[in-house]
């Protein structure tokens, strides 16, 4: 339940809106437009692995540490003003072999608070790959850093590491579960730099425990883009989704109103939800499915709107190839009052029941647990239908009519000119 709620409050709410270019529910859009007032400032702490392995030069010909520094500098320049940001390191200070001492090597490089970009960049510039990888202790300290001050508001830890924790039995997955159990609303997102299978598994487990996301990174631009996205995400309004359980068939599906919903879907499963669409209204919906664990390459997500009798109305679909941790798609169904093909005997006079089918084609390696199902987030909105006079043009050309007319005129003039030139050339040839 914790994973489901935190995923929805973090990753899916923004992705559902962005993937559809504004198809998020009206209530969500309204929340984004409201002034922040006295709302607590969003807080983010970047936790960077500065252990000795960060010297490896395998990210676009440069060291992992250099790639991280470049990403941090660019992200610091772009951090929204309202975000309070801090930086914590692990393995940055102790170069020795004493395990007990090395596993205490975590320090706050820059305190969580209003950002002074110059000071933060100066602090990052001093870093040099040094020692151990105490991920668990660093996460505990980072959670304390973010728990200080005013309660409430978005809180995120963004962990960047290139290896497994070297300080177990303080298992970082258990640490993440302990943080989630505190109920302080903290999400941990993880990024693995050229990570091997064990590192990927551990970082995925950490993220899954708090409803965060894991991203594998092999290039500088990927690192910069992903860290920037996660910092920006903290500034977005937090929308609490409603837990719902889809059904195996439309007849048993729960009825949804406009809003944001979260569910879990098994690998390769189909789930149904019902929405009533009043005459003259338009249904807009989007779905995001998160790969919160290792999955096989090549997968897809399908969102279909069908009638209660199974006839497809419209669909949206998207696919991935193993490089994406969340995949989203959406659809819109403008119900026409002139639609006589509806299965209802009183089409246009009564609300139409539309069934939303969410399907995924994910599969997982044998070593990966398939339960619980994948986190699903569904955004539903029923709004006034489009204005026929202004929004819908004949044949779907919209404002492209002027371009079509111009092309016709240009084509006609070009044909006349070419015909005249051809006749003139023929006349000259005959004369000679």
Banded model confidence at residue 234, pLDDT cuts 50, 70, 90? confident
CA distance 334 to 76: 43
Of residues 420 and 247, more confidently modeled: 247
Which residue stretches of 58-196 are H helix?
Answer: 64-78, 99-102, 117-125, 135-146, 172-181
Torsion of CA 108, 113, 117, 119, to 10 degrees: -50
For the segment 59-75, the average pLDDT, to the nearest whole number, is 95
Nearest to 379 by CA among 11, 17, 2, 7: 17
Side-chain half-sphere exposure of 18, counting CA atoms within 13 A: 10
Provide the pLDDT for residue 243.
87
Determine the average pLDDT of the residues in 7-20: 39
Q: Which residue has the higher pLDDT, 412 or 215?
A: 215
Does the pLDDT at position 12 exceed 80? no
DSSP 93: S
pLDDT at residue 143 is higher than 60: yes
Choose between 219 and 150: higher pLDDT.
219
Please state the rounded mean pLDDT for residues 346-374.
83
Domain span(s) for CATH 2.60.120.380 in the chain: 242-384
Mean pLDDT (whole number) for 143-153: 81
Share of the chain above pLDDT 70, in %: 79
Average pLDDT, the chain: 81
Q: Which ranges in the chain are annotated with CATH 3.40.50.410? A: 35-234
Instruction: Give me the residues paired with residue 412 across strands.
Output: none
Whether residue 130 is predicted with pLDDT greater than 50 in this model: the reply is yes
Residue range 202-230: average pLDDT? Answer: 89
50-75 average pLDDT score? 95
Q: What pLDDT does residue 180 have?
A: 82
Return the higher-pLDDT residue of 241 and 339: 241
Are 357 and 263 spatial neighbours (Cβ–Cβ below 8 Å)? Answer: no
Predicted local confidence at residue 3, as pLDDT: 39
Greatest extent of the chain over all pairs of C-alpha atoms, in Å: 103
**pTM of the predicted model, to two decimals?**
0.54
Give the C-alpha distances (Å, rounded to integers) separating 9 from 141, 350, 421. 23, 35, 68
Report the distance separating Cα 353 and Cα 414, nearest Å.
53
Q: From 215, 368, 348, 361, select the one nearest 281 (Cα to Cα).
A: 348
Q: Looking at residue 393, what DSSP letter applies?
A: -
CA distance 372 to 383: 34
Summarised one tens digit per residue, pLDDT across range 276-312 is: 998 888 898 989 888 878 888 889 999 999 999 889 9
Tokens coding 31: 């929340």
Residues in the chain: 432
Across 10-24, 75-89, 305-319, 387-401, which has the greatest mean pLDDT?
Answer: 75-89
pLDDT above 80 (res 152): no
CATH class, range 35-234: alpha beta
Q: Which of 229, 307, 242 is nearest to 272 (CA)?
A: 307
pLDDT above 80 for 250 = yes
Ramachandran region, residue 180 (left: φ > 0; alpha: ψ -120 to 50; beta: rest):
alpha
Per-residue model confidence (pLDDT) at position 407: 75
Tokens, residue 323: 């490089």
Question: What CATH number was assigned to the domain covering residues 242-384?
Answer: 2.60.120.380
The per-residue pLDDT for 208 is 80
């Amino acid at each position: 339940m914790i994973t489901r709620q935190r995923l929805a409050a973090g990753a899916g709410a923004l992705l559902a809106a962005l993937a559809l270019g504004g198809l998020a529910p009206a209530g969500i859009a309204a929340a984004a437009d409201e002034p922040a007032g006295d709302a607590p400032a969003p807080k983010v702490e970047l936790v960077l692995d500065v252990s000795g392995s960060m010297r490896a030069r395998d990210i676009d010909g440069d060291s992992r540490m250099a790639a991280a520094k470049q990403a941090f500098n660019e992200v610091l320049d772009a951090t929204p003003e309202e975000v309070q940001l801090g930086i914590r390191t692990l393995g940055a200070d102790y170069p020795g072999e004493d395990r007990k001492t090395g596993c205490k090597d975590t320090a706050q490089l820059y305190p969580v608070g209003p950002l002074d970009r110059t000071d933060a960049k100066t602090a990052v510039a001093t870093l040099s790959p040094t020692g151990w990888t105490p991920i668990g202790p660093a996460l505990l300290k980072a959670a304390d850093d973010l728990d200080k001050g005013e309660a409430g508001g978005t809180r995120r830890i963004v962990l960047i590491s290139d290896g497994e924790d070297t300080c177990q039995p303080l298992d970082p997955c258990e640490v993440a579960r302990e943080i989630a159990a505190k109920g302080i609303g903290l999400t941990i997102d993880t990024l693995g730099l050229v990570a091997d299978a064990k590192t990927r598994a551990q970082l995925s487990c950490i993220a899954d425990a708090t409803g965060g996301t894991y991203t594998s990174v092999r290039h500088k631009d990927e690192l910069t883009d992903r860290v920037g996205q996660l910092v920006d995400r903290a500034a977005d309004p937090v929308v609490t989704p409603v837990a719902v359980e889809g059904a195996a068939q439309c007849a048993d599906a729960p009825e949804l109103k406009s809003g944001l919903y979260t569910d879990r879907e098994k690998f390769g499963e189909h789930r149904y939800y019902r929405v009533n669409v009043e005459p003259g209204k338009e249904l807009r919906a989007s779905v995001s499915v998160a790969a919160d664990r290792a999955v096989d390459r090549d997968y897809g997500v399908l969102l279909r709107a069908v009638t209660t009798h199974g006839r497809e109305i419209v669909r949206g679909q998207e696919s991935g190839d193993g490089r994406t941790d969340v995949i989203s798609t959406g659809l819109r169904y403008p119900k026409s009052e002139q639609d006589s093909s509806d299965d209802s005997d009183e089409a246009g006079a009564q609300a139409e029941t539309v069934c939303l089918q969410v399907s995924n084609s994910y599969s997982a390696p044998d070593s990966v647990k398939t339960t619980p199902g994948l986190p699903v987030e569904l955004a539903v909105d029923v709004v006034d239908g489009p204005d026929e006079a202004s929004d819908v043009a004949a044949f779907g050309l919209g404002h492209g009519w002027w371009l079509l007319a111009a092309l016709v005129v240009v084509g006609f003039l070009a044909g006349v000119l070419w015909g005249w030139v051809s006749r003139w050339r023929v006349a000259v040839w005959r004369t000679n």
